[in-house]
């Protein structure tokens, strides 16, 4: 995945020690389209959301039939993983035709209808704009690999001969022995994902194959990609999520052992700024979300939002323990696990570094699961998940919720073979949505052995129909948290974020922070471990009483004189509290 690349891009800030933090209630609102202000997104993986025709694979008509459900969650927008024509070597990220819906999902008319139906319900839609590479059988690449020079020869990055390897700093990034042309091509992910040629930031004059960013063929390729964007915006999309957004323009810089994609951030930003300008001019309500994981770059006049998840601190939150359970490899402990051995300092250090660098420029998103990570519901109870969502819907930025997490869908077994490039834990996190207790848990009427991935075989596998009936189900708790995110000014995307506890080297539980907008102040207190926690922290806000907006019982002592507060939280609990 992008993990290696992005770890190399993230400069981990120095050790983070929390001083007494001051809540000011001040904030800056970044410029985003009106509809995206304070929006909550739901992520749909088309393969496994709903199968309308019984062929075992989800499709657009299936999604349309579930839009009322999506709307009922209280979300404002949907992000669709790629739905384009593809050989599916990487689950559709490998695009063969940018202008065509994959037949297994339906037709372009179905897509148009899907966007219209979402709009009718007041929801917006963004598509996956995957432009750092194409599928190996994309017609551009089919032309590019021909010996004869043609319009597409330079659309991809080819060395001059198959027999001479590119300089050592590109080790492992080139594929040799493919196609007619005497040269090696650069890949961006799997070998069958040839990198599109955005040019080199500092081409080596001795390596003629490294074209400058203003080479006419590079510019022509970029124009073609802009037309792809226009096509889907004209079809009714409201924006996009850019896959591997930071990995476009190449460089020959060497980064020790961390060299991977050799990308140049500054030149890559210039491209995204052009796209931002294009949107502002032609589609002023267009929204841009990056998979970059370095917000300080992504939000630098480029994107409105950056997914901040390919960095160590994010794993510290939810993933480490999951990896241990999945792979038997001990990678340490996650903060949001009941065993209570996690630490949140590394997360806070990286987060605060990026938060401070991007205030007023755009939003950081800490996704609540996605198709590349293990499910959050990996050996976690619904209550433990609810605490994670209480975090996700009360942090600054734009919340993204992965389909099925609202009912606590579980990570499925490691023993399954990979499907469409989804090696574990990815395939265990991409299984069919669980709608009911019916055949295939309501996902498909097809034969079980035809399904894209098997459904959760557990007798107590969670499902929507049952959870709808229970006011205290995770589904309904999730709805309440989404509603709270929308209703409280202090929980708005842009409202101030002030971490209050843990401080110093003491007990790392609970995690307490304030959100503030003007005079509105909300405290969020999270104790994910299965043991009670106490915390004392200083607080500079005057208040008379507290109002619990969500969560559990807790004890609060406010020492006005000393300006501090002591809280006692039961095991596995959280509270979102307004100071009045
Ligand atoms: C992104 C996608 C992932 C894909 C990879 C290569 O990380 O989220 O699913 O495999 O890029 O495109």
Q: Who contacts 234 (Cβ-Cβ below 8 Å, separation ≥6)? A: none
| Environment class of 14 (CB within 10 Å of its CB; exposed 0-12, middle 13-18, buried 19+) | exposed
CA 53, chain centre distance (Å): 29
* Same domain for 431 and 373: yes
Nearest alpha carbon, ligand 1 atom 10: 90
Residues 36 and 123 in one domain: yes
Contact 198, 213 (CB under 8 A): yes
Residue 444: per-residue pLDDT: 98
Q: Give the count of domains, the chain.
A: 2
- For the question of whether the overall pTM of this predicted structure is more than 0.85, the answer is yes
Contact residues for 72 (Cβ-Cβ < 8 A; gap 6+): 479
Query: CA–CA separation, 35 vs 57, rounded Å?
Result: 32
Q: Are residues 411 and 524 in the same domain?
A: no
With vertex at residue 168, the alpha carbon angle to CA 181 and CA 160, rounded to the nearest 5 degrees, is 20
The rounded Å distance from CA 291 to ligand 1 centre is: 9
- pLDDT (tens digit, 9 = 90+) per residue, 219-235? 999 999 999 999 999 99
Q: Which residues does residue 97 pair with via DSSP β-bridges, in sequence order?
A: 85
Min mean pLDDT across 159-173, 315-329, 356-370, 441-455 is at 315-329
d(CA 482, CA 478): 6
CATH number, position 329:
3.20.20.80
Report the 10 Å Cβ neighbour count for 180: 9
pLDDT band at 260 (very low <50, low <70, confident <90, very high): low
Whether the per-residue pLDDT at 477 is higher than 70: the answer is yes
Q: What is the pLDDT of residue 506?
A: 86
16 falls within a domain:
yes
In a domain, 163, yes or no: no
**pLDDT at residue 438, rounded to an integer:** 98
Residue 328 pLDDT > 60: no
Comparing 152 with 169, which gets the higher pLDDT?
152
What average pLDDT does this structure show over 449-460? 96
Decide if 444 is inside a domain: yes
Domain boundary among 428, 452, 486: 486
Q: What is the mean pLDDT of residues 558-575?
A: 90
316 and 373 share one domain: yes
CATH number, residue 558 = 2.60.40.1180
Residues 463 and 517 in one domain: no
- Please tell me the distance between residue 220's alpha carbon and the centre of ligand 1 in angstroms: 25
Same domain, 99 and 246: yes
Distances (CA, A) of 268 to 122, 450, 557: 34, 42, 51
Note whether residue 371 is domain-resident: yes
371 CA from centroid of ligand 1 (Å): 9
- Mean confidence (pLDDT) of the chain: 92
Residue 171 has pLDDT above 80, yes or no: yes
The reply to whether ligand 1 has any atom less than 6 angstroms from the CB of 93 is yes
The better pLDDT of the pair 404, 334 is held by: 404
What's the pLDDT score for residue 553? 82
Residue 192 located in a structural domain:
no
Q: Which residue has the higher pLDDT, 543 or 131?
A: 131
Domain of 565 in residue numbering reads as 507-579
Establish whether residue 90 lines the binding site of ligand 1, counting it when its CB lies within 6 angstroms of any ligand atom: yes
Biggest alpha carbon–alpha carbon distance for the chain = 81
> Ligand 1 in contact with 372 (CB < 6 A)?
yes
What sections of 335-421 are H helices per DSSP?
A: 345-358, 382-392
Kindly state the percentage of the chain with pLDDT values over 70: 93
Q: How many residues does the chain have?
A: 580
pLDDT band of 418, cuts 50, 70, 90: confident
Structure tokens at 88: 């599916």
Nearest to 81 by CA among 67, 92, 66: 92
Cα–Cα distance between 7 and 4 in angstroms, integer?
5
Contacting residues for 404 by C-beta, under 8 A, at least 6 apart: 375, 433, 434
Within a domain: 492: no
């Amino acid at each position: 995945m992008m993990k290696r690349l992005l770890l190399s891009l993230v400069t981990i800030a120095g050790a983070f020690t929390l001083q007494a933090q001051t809540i000011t209630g001040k904030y800056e609102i970044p410029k985003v389209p009106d509809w995206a202000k304070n929006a909550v997104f739901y992520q749909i993986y088309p393969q496994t959301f709903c199968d309308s025709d019984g062929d075992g694979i989800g499709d657009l008509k299936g999604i349309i039939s579930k839009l009322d459900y999506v709307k009922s969650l209280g979300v404002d927008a949907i992000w669709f993983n790629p739905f384009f024509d593809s050989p599916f070597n990487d689950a559709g990220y490998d695009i063969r035709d940018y202008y065509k819906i994959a037949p297994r999902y339906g037709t372009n008319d179905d897509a148009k209808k899907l966007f219209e139906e979402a709009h009718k319900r007041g929801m917006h839609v963004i598509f996956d704009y995957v432009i750092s590479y194409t599928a190996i059988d994309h017609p551009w690449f089919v032309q590019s690999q021909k010996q004869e020079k043609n319009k597409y020869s330079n659309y991809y990055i080819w060395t001059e001969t198959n027999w001479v390897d590119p300089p050592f700093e590109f080790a492992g990034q080139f594929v040799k022995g493919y196609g007619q042309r005497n040269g090696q091509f650069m890949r961006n992910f799997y070998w069958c994902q040839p990198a599109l040629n955005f040019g080199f930031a500092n081409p080596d004059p001795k390596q003629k194959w490294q074209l400058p960013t203003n080479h006419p063929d590079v510019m022509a390729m970029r124009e073609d990609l802009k037309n792809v964007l226009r096509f889907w915006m004209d079809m009714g999309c409201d924006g996009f999520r850019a896959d591997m957004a930071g990995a476009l323009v190449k460089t020959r810089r060497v980064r020790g052992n961390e060299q991977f994609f050799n990308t140049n951030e500054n030149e890559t930003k210039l491209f995204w700024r052009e796209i931002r300008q294009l949107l502002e001019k032609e589609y002023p309500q267009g929204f841009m979300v990056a998979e970059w994981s370095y917000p300080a770059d992504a939000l630098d006049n480029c994107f409105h939002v950056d997914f901040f998840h390919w960095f160590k601190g994010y794993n510290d939150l939810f993933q480490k323990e999951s990896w241990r359970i999945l792979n038997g490899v001990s990678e340490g402990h996650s903060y949001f696990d009941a065993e209570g051995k996690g630490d949140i300092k590394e997360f806070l250090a990286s987060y605060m570094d990026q938060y401070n660098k991007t205030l007023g420029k755009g939003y950081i998103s800490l996704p609540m699961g996605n198709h590349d990570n293990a499910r959050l519901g990996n050996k976690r109870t619904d209550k433990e998940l609810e605490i994670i969502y209480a975090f996700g819907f009360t942090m600054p930025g734009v919340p993204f919720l992965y389909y099925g997490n609202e009912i606590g869908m579980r990570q499925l077994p490691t023993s399954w073979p990979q499907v469409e490039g989804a090696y574990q834990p990815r395939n265990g996190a991409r299984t069919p949505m669980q709608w009911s207790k019916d055949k295939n848990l309501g996902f498909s009427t097809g034969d079980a052995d035809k399904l894209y991935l098997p459904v959760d075989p557990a007798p107590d596998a969670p499902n929507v129909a049952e959870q709808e009936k229970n006011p205290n189900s995770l589904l309904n708790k999730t709805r309440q948290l989404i509603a709270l995110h929308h209703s409280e000014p202090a929980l708005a995307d842009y409202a101030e974020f002030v971490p209050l506890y843990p401080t110093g080297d003491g007990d790392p539980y609970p995690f307490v922070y304030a959100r503030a907008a003007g005079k509105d102040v909300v405290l969020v207190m999270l104790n994910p471990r299965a043991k009670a926690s106490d915390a004392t922290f200083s607080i500079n806000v005057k208040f008379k009483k507290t109002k619990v907006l969500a969560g559990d019982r807790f004890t609060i002592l406010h020492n006005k004189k000393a300006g501090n507060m002591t809280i006692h939280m039961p095991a596995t609990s959280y509270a979102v509290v307004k100071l009045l």
